[in-house]
């Protein structure tokens, strides 16, 4: 992202040109940012048998999935560890990953409340599953006795940017609670299931290294009770700095600590295991920008509303999490600023992208850019109020290509 002639440029092209060419609203992804994030993470973990599985729920665009599939983690000497895999949470995501060229051996899966049909699909296609509950473990045992399975563990530790995205702890619906692990082992033995992995995912948007490391330590402590392990999966959750006051994780330092802790564990465990990570947000959030056109400026006695031709139907995070996204006037980056309400075109009062935000006061027809919208943006979008979804475009070095067509009524 750069500024030239007081205008915002994405992947070397002005936001206005992108909108002129591909229409508005528009999701734009900067390819270089996707590559840079992947490399940063891959290089931060020096333990050689590390593998990244992209949590595609963050953004299921097949072109983005393919890009990660082709990126090699240079830090990992093992060829098998180089390709990124996919972490999927629905049969739909598995199917998209397969269509995007990922073989089933490169797909891992976890999800709660699976139906028998979904379980049969996963078994038939030999997808590596982390069972989310004792009930699910038993269902896999009955349908696939003697098979391999891993366990999604809830150590009672949760973290995240908002209570809705904390996925560990006593009140979370996810995972097999730490006090149920003996029962899980008994169940597995009853169906001759081999527990070959342990995974956890404590939550999303974590910027505190300490809690991540504490959760890792807890998982590794319990791992000694499972003699057949092939991998440990630390989940996703690495946050990005959405707000100006947010500090990004020092990945180099965190990665070194993760690697050191894991090496220590391996020594005690007595066998090399693979280390899996399944990040979503960290890889894609900062690459994505939602461009939208100012349709109307409305003044009331209390507020100035900047009304866009998009809204919560295309980026729901502010409405459901009160999430903060930086917003800039891509048509005029510098100019007199004013505190405004940036709102969408949906018939809901929760339809806002920013409240009380200082931006360069736009005029109708100008383009606003909502930043850090690459994760849980398009993938959580809807057709609410019968608005078609925007197109998606990948931009790099002055070139842009469409990676998903705009929907039509």
Ligand X SMILES: Cc1ncc(COP(=O)(O)O)c(C=O)c1O
Q: Which residue among 79, 268, 302, 347 is the active-site one?
A: 347
Q: Is 286 in the site for ligand X (CB under 6 A)?
A: no
d(Cα 109, Cα 100) in Å, to the nearest integer?
Answer: 16
Task: Tell me if 138 sits within 8 A of 114, measured CB to CB.
Answer: no
The token duo for 351 is 């339809």
Among positions 237, 344, 362, 390, the unique one binding ligand X when judged by CB under 6 A = 237
182-211 footprint of ligand X as x/- string (CB under 6 A): -------------------x--x-------
Task: Tell me if 29 sits within 8 A of 394, measured CB to CB.
Answer: yes
Among positions 87, 93, 106, 351, the unique one binding ligand X when judged by CB under 6 A = 87
In the complex with ligand X, which residue's Cβ is closer, 93 or 351?
A: 93
347 is catalytic: yes
Measured CA to CA in angstroms, residue 303 lies from 236, 288, 357 at distances of: 39, 29, 11
Q: Is 280 in the site for ligand X (CB under 6 A)?
A: yes
Q: For the CB of residue 165, give the shortest distance to ligand X in the complex, in Å.
A: 7
Q: What is the CB neighbour count within 10 angstroms for residue 167?
A: 22
In the complex with ligand X, which residue's Cβ is closer, 110 or 254?
A: 110
In the complex with ligand X, which residue's Cβ is closer, 168 or 307?
A: 168
Cβ partners under 8 Å of residue 6, min gap 6: 332, 333, 334, 335
Among positions 85, 197, 235, 377, the unique one binding ligand X when judged by CB under 6 A = 235
Q: For the CB of residue 237, give the shortest distance to ligand X in the complex, in Å.
A: 4
Q: Is 110 in the site for ligand X (CB under 6 A)?
A: yes
Q: For the CB of residue 54, give the shortest distance to ligand X in the complex, in Å.
A: 9
Q: For the CB of residue 133, give the shortest distance to ligand X in the complex, in Å.
A: 14
Q: For the CB of residue 395, give the shortest distance to ligand X in the complex, in Å.
A: 22
Q: For the CB of residue 329, give the shortest distance to ligand X in the complex, in Å.
A: 29
DSSP 311-328: -TTT--HHHHH-----EE
Strand partners, 150: 130, 197
In the complex with ligand X, which residue's Cβ is closer, 31 or 278?
A: 278
Among the listed ranges 68-76, 139-147, 222-230, 276-284, the one in contact with ligand X (CB under 6 A) is: 276-284
What is the CA 70 to chain-centroid distance, rounded? 18
In the complex with ligand X, which residue's Cβ is closer, 10 or 238?
A: 238
d(Cα 191, Cα 178) in Å, to the nearest integer?
Answer: 21
Q: For the CB of residue 406, give the shortest distance to ligand X in the complex, in Å.
A: 26
Task: Tell me if 355 sits within 8 A of 319, measured CB to CB.
Answer: no
Site for ligand X in 371-390 (CB under 6 A): 375
- Residue 12 Rama label (left phi>0; alpha psi -120 to 50; beta): left
In the complex with ligand X, which residue's Cβ is closer, 158 or 279?
A: 279
d(Cα 40, Cα 252) in Å, to the nearest integer?
Answer: 8
Cβ partners under 8 Å of residue 391, min gap 6: 22, 23, 26, 27, 402, 404, 405, 406
In the complex with ligand X, which residue's Cβ is closer, 251 or 343?
A: 251
Among positions 22, 282, 352, 378, the unique one binding ligand X when judged by CB under 6 A = 282
Q: Is 85 in the site for ligand X (CB under 6 A)?
A: no
Q: Beta strands of 111-219 (E only): which ranges?
A: 128-131, 148-154, 176-177, 194-199
Q: What is the CB neighbour count within 10 angstroms for residue 332?
A: 18
Among the listed ranges 34-42, 63-71, 257-265, 274-282, the one in contact with ligand X (CB under 6 A) is: 274-282
Element (H, E) at 21: helix 15-22
Q: Is 278 in the site for ligand X (CB under 6 A)?
A: yes
Q: For the CB of residue 374, give the shortest distance to ligand X in the complex, in Å.
A: 11
Q: Is 168 in the site for ligand X (CB under 6 A)?
A: no
In the complex with ligand X, which residue's Cβ is closer, 1 or 55?
A: 55
Site for ligand X in 31-70 (CB under 6 A): 55, 57-58
Helix (H, G, I), strand (E, B) or coil at 195: strand
Residue number of the CB atom closest to ligand X: 236
Q: Which of 265, 267, 258 is nearest to 238 (CA)?
A: 258
Site of interaction with ligand X (CB under 6 A):
55, 57-58, 87, 110, 167, 201, 204, 235-238, 278-282, 375
Q: Which residues are catalytic?
A: 347
């Amino acid at each position: 992202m750069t500024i030239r002639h007081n205008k915002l440029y994405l992947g070397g092209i002005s936001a206005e040109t992108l909108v002129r060419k591909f229409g508005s609203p528009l999701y734009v992804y900067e390819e270089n940012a996707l590559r840079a994030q992947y490399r940063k993470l891959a290089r931060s973990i020096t333990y050689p048998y590390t593998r990244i599985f992209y949590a595609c729920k963050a953004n299921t665009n097949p072109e983005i999935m393919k890009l990660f599939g082709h990126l090699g983690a240079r830090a990992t000497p093992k060829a098998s560890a180089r390709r990124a895999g996919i972490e999927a949470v629905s049969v739909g995501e598995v199917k998209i990953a397969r269509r995007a060229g990922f073989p089933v051996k490169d797909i891992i899966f976890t999800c709660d409340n699976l139906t028998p049909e979904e379980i049969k699909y996963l078994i038939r296609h030999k997808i590596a599953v982390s069972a989310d509950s004792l009930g699910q473990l038993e269902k896999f045992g009955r349908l696939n006795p003697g098979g391999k399975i891993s366990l999604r563990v809830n150590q009672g530790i949760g973290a995240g940017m908002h209570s809705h995205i904390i996925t560990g702890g006593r009140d979370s619906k996810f995972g097999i609670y730490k006090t149920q692990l003996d029962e899980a082992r008994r169940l597995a033995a009853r169906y001759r299931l081999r527990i070959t992995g342990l995974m956890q995912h404590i939550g999303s948007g974590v910027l505190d290294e300490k809690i991540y490391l504490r959760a890792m330590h807890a998982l590794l402590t319990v791992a000694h009770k499972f003699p057949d392990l092939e991998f440990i999966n630390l989940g996703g959750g690495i946050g990005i700095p959405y707000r100006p006051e947010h500090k990004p994780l020092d990945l180099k330092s965190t990665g070194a600590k993760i690697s050191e802790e894991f090496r220590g564990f391996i020594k005690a465990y007595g066998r090399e295991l693979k280390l899996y990570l399944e990040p979503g947000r960290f890889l894609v959030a900062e690459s994505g920008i939602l461009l939208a056109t100012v349709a109307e400026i409305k003044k009331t006695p209390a507020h100035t509303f900047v009304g866009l031709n998009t809204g919560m139907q295309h980026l729901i995070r502010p409405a459901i999490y009160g999430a903060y996204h930086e917003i800039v006037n891509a048509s005029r980056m510098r100019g007199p600023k004013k505190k405004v309400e940036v709102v969408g075109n949906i018939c809901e009062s929760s339809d806002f992208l920013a409240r009380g935000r200082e931006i360069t006061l736009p005029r109708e027809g100008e383009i606003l850019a909502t930043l850090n919208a690459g994760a849980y943006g398009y993938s959580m979008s809807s057709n609410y109020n019968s608005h078609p979804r925007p197109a998606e475009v990948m931009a790099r070095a002055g070139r842009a290509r469409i990676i998903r067509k705009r929907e039509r009524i």
